[in-house]
Structure 1
Amino acid sequence: MKKVIGLLAAVSLLTAPLAQASTVTVSGSTSVAHVMEVLAENYQKIASKNVEVQSTGSSAGIRAAKDGTSMIGMSSRNVKQSELNSDTKEIVIARDGIAAAVNNANPVQNLTQEQISQIYRGEINNWSEVGGEAKPIVVVTRENGSGTRGAFEEIMKLQRTVNGHKVTAISPRAQVGNGNGMIKTIVANNPYAIGYISLGSVDDSLRAVDVNGIAATDTNIAAGDYQIARPFIVLMDKNAHINAQDFISYILSEDGQSIVAEEGYIRVQ
């Protein structure tokens, strides 16, 4: 009996790494995770393979793909060359707009790109300065390491150079929310708040303002008219496990890209 138990234990130890390897691990951007979870759920139904998705932020996802702690990393901002190694492969799976979102009770319908930047720099502090009520603006931003924040700062020129290093120009008085969900909750419950979130996360609880007179829509982003937009990127090792490669192939397939579109993002295939 002891020999049988010992044999079973040995077989278990040998097969455990194989079982673990068969699970596709994905981590990173909370914005990308929104659509990735739906893609993973559908893929598991047709492929009978496990996919685990974790929202850890773009910077953490890039590091995880680079050091191998996740098979696939997710980023909702452009990846710097210094963050990659020679074996890391970048793949754009979708495109997304970043919405400047306000409370449904806010009468402001349109802001210029420069007005939004001035609001976030703390140069415009009252809604009356941009056609709204005479009420202080509650500015809400994402946490450091957020891909959405990185893309927003880059597009909106909300970075400055200090001693040779780029630092944020967003007002230190801005409230910080971790993830699109928290930003939505803050803005949906405060009629004088403004926050930026993934366009695919906009729902009836809040409203995306027009920017430079252009509505935040998939059509306008695809045409290049709505300027606050960024790619959704996945990263993996060139020699990644076959299951990870198959999952990426599914995402780029007609079925996968249809899900991308259904979830409110712009397909790339």
Structure 2
Amino acid sequence: MHKHFWQKITIILFLALIFLTGCKNNSSKITIVGSSAMQLLAEQAGNDYRLTHPSSNIVVQGGGSGTGLSQVQAGAVEIGTSDVFAETQPGINAQKLRDYRVAVVGIVPIVNKSTGVKNLSMTQLRQIFTGKITNWKQVGGKNETITVINRSKGSGTRSSFESIVLPGVKPIRSQEQDSNGTVKKIVNTTPGTISYISLPYAHDKNIQKLSIDHVKATNSNITTNKWPLWCYEHMYTKGKPNKRTAAFIKYMLGKKVQEDLIPKIGYLSIKEMKVVRDSQNKVVKVGN
């Protein structure tokens, strides 16, 4: 009986140790949900952060800016990422959230190479996405029907694109996709297609990036707003972040990410911008 008693005690202590270890691991978890445009940066930064903070557990998921904002507002995640300002989104109380702008990302229209088009005017781009231009021959390309691929309604990239390209007008009804990777794959494999993706995802020789009014989508052109299709990459927390989340956000705003990682993978540091835009994508300040 004495032997069985100590066996039970050993099992109980073992299970308690597993439970406490699990709690410790869970307590170091930071869940980041939202913008697919931000996902590439958040994932790489999270991987790098773990190298110097081995006890950290950073989980990054997409789902769109709308999802990120609603999830962080509900307290379901530590960080919600977004391409748009929280105050522009219905159902979001921006006053209860803290905004950290960690980067800038460009947006670029892309087409299947079969179209034969490399440049559009802003007016032509608007007319394609509103259905007024329906064949590539109307803009100097192949005699081929235009197929528009839009982003899903919860996408911050879509909100930014439409506020700049389609202010005050509705886009044509079309197929919708919720991630940069899926859009790129469809445009790559489907003749006649056009869509738009975040610039860091556009380094693919099988798709054609479009210039607008003969201006190319480059980070240099973005800094001055010469290329107008860009947006801030926000990290939102619900009120004051806890200690571990605050430490990771500090890392995101620090030199290692801002000066090394961000330019390496195709984003822009906030510090590089020569213009400032408001929540309606209007330039409100020029110069540093």
TM (normalized to structure 2)?
0.84
Unaligned runs of 5+ in 1: 161-168
Question: Percent of aligned positions with the same letter in both sequences?
Answer: 28
- State the secondary structure of the residue aligned to 1:264: coil
How do 1:100-249 residues align onto structure 2 when only pairs under 5 Å count? 100-157=109-166, 159-160=168-169, 169-172=170-173, 174-203=174-203, 204-249=205-250
Say if 2:77 is the partner of 1:64: no
C-alpha distance in structure 1 between counterparts of 2:189 and 2:115, whole Å: 12
- State the secondary structure of the residue aligned to 2:84: coil
Conserved 8 A contact 1:117-1:158: no
Unaligned runs of 5+ in 2: 1-6, 272-288
Conserved 8 A contact 2:98-2:240: no
CA shift for structure 1 position 77:
2.0
AA aligned to 2:26 is Q
AA aligned to 1:65 is V
C-alpha distance in structure 1 between counterparts of 2:237 and 2:195, whole Å: 31
CA shift for structure 1 position 78:
2.5
TM (normalized to structure 1)?
0.90
Say if 2:257 is the partner of 1:256: yes
AA aligned to 2:30 is V
For 2:28, the equivalent position in structure 1 comes to: 22
- State the secondary structure of the residue aligned to 2:95: coil
C-alpha distance in structure 1 between counterparts of 2:53 and 2:120, whole Å: 46
In the TM superposition, what whole-angstrom CA distance separates every residue of 1:226-247 from its partner, at most 9, and x where no partner exists? Answer: 0111111110133322111111
CA shift for structure 1 position 158:
5.2
CA shift for structure 1 position 153:
1.4
Say if 2:45 is the partner of 1:44: no
C-alpha distance in structure 1 between counterparts of 2:238 and 2:223, whole Å: 29
Conserved 8 A contact 1:97-1:199: yes
Conserved 8 A contact 1:97-1:198: yes
Distance 1:91 1:189, change over 3 A: same
- State the secondary structure of the residue aligned to 2:86: coil
- State the secondary structure of the residue aligned to 2:153: coil
C-alpha distance in structure 2 between counterparts of 1:7 and 1:20, whole Å: 20
For 1:73, the equivalent position in structure 2 comes to: 80
CA shift for structure 1 position 86:
3.5
Rg larger in structure: 2
C-alpha distance in structure 2 between counterparts of 1:148 and 1:36, whole Å: 16
Conserved 8 A contact 1:23-1:50: yes
For 1:266, the equivalent position in structure 2 comes to: 268
C-alpha distance in structure 1 between counterparts of 2:238 and 2:177, whole Å: 31
In the TM superposition, what whole-angstrom CA distance separates every residue of 1:216-266 from its partner, at most 9, and x where no partner exists? Answer: 000000111001111111101333221111111111111111211111111
User: RMSD of aligned C-alpha atoms?
Assistant: 1.8
- State the secondary structure of the residue aligned to 1:200: helix
CA shift for structure 1 position 4:
4.5
C-alpha distance in structure 2 between counterparts of 1:62 and 1:104, whole Å: 36
AA aligned to 2:127 is Q
For 1:86, the equivalent position in structure 2 comes to: 95
C-alpha distance in structure 1 between counterparts of 2:135 and 2:167, whole Å: 19
C-alpha distance in structure 1 between counterparts of 2:17 and 2:242, whole Å: 22
CA shift for structure 1 position 52:
0.6
Alignment: residue pair count: 260
